[in-house]
Amino acid sequence: MTEFKEFKLPDVGEGLTEADIVAWHVKPGDRVEVNQVIVEIETAKAVVELPSPWDGTVARLLAEEGQTVDVGVPIIAIDVAGSPDSSERSSVPAPATESAPAAGETAGQPKPQPKRQAVLVGYGVKASSTTRRPRKTATAPAATAPAAMALAKPPVRRLAKNLGISLAELAGTGPGGSVTRDDVQRAADDTRVRSVSAVVEDRARTGLQERIPVRGLRRHMAAAMVSSAFSAPHVTEFLQVDVTETMAALRRVRDLPEYAGVRVSPLLFAARALLAAVARHPLINSSWDGDAEEIVVKHYVNLGIAVAAERGLIVPNIKDADALTLPGLARSLQALTETGRAGKATPADLAGGTITITNVGVFGVDAGTPILTPGETAILAFGQVKDTPWVVDGQLAVRQACTLSLSFDHRIVDGALGSAVLRDVGSMLEDPIRILAWT
Greatest pairwise CA separation for the chain in angstroms: 101
Nearest to 286 by CA among 270, 271, 302: 302
Helix (H) or strand (E) holding 184: helix 181-205
**410 noted as active-site residue:** yes
The alpha carbon of 369 is separated from its chain's Cα centroid by a whole number of angstroms, namely 16
Pairwise CA distance, residues 70 & 78, whole Å = 20
Residue type, 278: V
37 within 8 A of 43, measured Cβ to Cβ: no
Pairwise CA distance, residues 281 & 288, whole Å = 16
Q: How far apart are the first and last CA of the chain?
A: 69
What's the CA dihedral at 409, 415, 421, 427 to 10 degrees?
Answer: 140
Beta strands (DSSP E) in 151-256 are 234-242
57 within 8 A of 32, measured Cβ to Cβ: yes
User: Which among 25, 234, 281, 410 is annotated as catalytic?
Assistant: 410
The angle at the Cα of 317, spanning 225 to 427, to the nearest 5 degrees, equals 90
The alpha carbon of 102 is separated from its chain's Cα centroid by a whole number of angstroms, namely 49
- The three-state secondary structure class of 356 is strand
Residue 419: CB atoms within 10 A of its CB come to: 14
Catalytically active residues are: 410
